[in-house]
Amino acid sequence: MIARSQRERLLDAAIDVVAEKGYAKTTIADLTKEAGISRTTFYEMFPDKEACFLAAYDVAADVLARRVASAFEAAEGEWPARVRAGLEELLGSLAAEPAVARLALVDFGAAGPAAQRRYRAALQRMTPLFDEGRDFAPEGRRLPANTSRMAIGAVVGLIAEEIEAGRATSLAKILPAVLVATLSPYLGPEAAAEEAGRG
């Protein structure tokens, strides 16, 4: 049990320190200090800084993906209302931890190609939110199979723009814009704008 909690502390530390200092400037000493563990313990768990960061990224992405999925699944109503709930959770979670949001969606690439692939994999975890749209939309079956990926591209594009502009803490405000962008491929622009205006 102690070993597990040390690992958890280290992964949390990796996200916090990299979010604050940037990946390149973060040292293993920074990580062990922040986590309150020894260097030996670090190397028992990970071969190097990159492996530790990637594991931390996976865990953070996993936590976020689960929260979004639960909000989506627990919400009442038809598909658009449930998408709203999922995206609301996403924006709220990111706004609550702006440094993590920045790392997850803007600065992720600094750790190299492996981190870029992790980012991509994390985004794919949001596809279930949108896949249902093909059943819900009047002509959903005619849409390209990649429509979910397109919607996710739009979501992260909008979020990254806000983070770059220094507005990470007020991400919740862009919910209507995110809804218009993501629902329009399924419902058409007018119906998407109408859905975005609800609530």
Partner 1 sequence: MATEIESRREALLKAMVRVVGRKGYDATSVADVIVEAGTSRTTFYKNFDDKHDCFLAAYEAMVEQVFATIVAECDGERPWVSRVRKGLETLIEIFALEPELARTAVVEVAVAGADARQLHWDAVNRFKGYLEAGRGAEPGKELPEQISVMAVGAVSGLIFDELVAGRAEQLPALMPDLLFAMLVPYLGPAAAADEMRRAAQAA
Asked if 87 touches partner 1 (CB under 8 A), the answer is no
Asked if 150 touches partner 1 (CB under 8 A), the answer is yes
Applying CB under 8 A, which part among 8-16, 34-42, 79-87, 172-180 lies near partner 1? 172-180
Asked if 143 touches partner 1 (CB under 8 A), the answer is yes
Q: Which one, 67 or 149, has the nearer CB to partner 1?
A: 149
Which of 157, 172, 173, 199 forms a contact with partner 1 (CB under 8 A)?
157
The encoded tokens of residue 15 equal 């996200």
Asked if 142 touches partner 1 (CB under 8 A), the answer is yes
Torsion angle of the four alpha carbons 107, 110, 116, 119, in this order, in degrees rounded to the nearest 10: -30
In this structure, the chain runs to a length of: 199
Residue 16 beta carbon to partner 1: minimum distance, rounded to whole angstroms: 21
Interface residues for partner 1 in 177-196 (CB under 8 A)? 177, 180-182, 184-190, 192-193
Which of 14, 65, 151, 171 forms a contact with partner 1 (CB under 8 A)?
151
User: For 105, phi and psi rounded to 5 degrees?
Assistant: -120, -15
Asked if 27 touches partner 1 (CB under 8 A), the answer is no
Q: Which residues neighbour 117 within 8 Å (Cβ) at sequence distance 6 or greater? A: none
Alpha-carbon dihedral sign for residues 180, 94, 28, 6: negative
Quote the crossing angle between the two packed helices 49-74 and 113-124, to the nearest 10°: 10
Which of 44, 62, 73, 161 forms a contact with partner 1 (CB under 8 A)?
161
Residue 167 beta carbon to partner 1: minimum distance, rounded to whole angstroms: 14
Residue 42 beta carbon to partner 1: minimum distance, rounded to whole angstroms: 22
Return residues touching partner 1 (CB under 8 A).
Answer: 24, 106, 108-110, 112-113, 116-117, 119-120, 123, 137, 139-140, 142-144, 146-147, 149-158, 161, 164, 176-177, 180-182, 184-190, 192-193
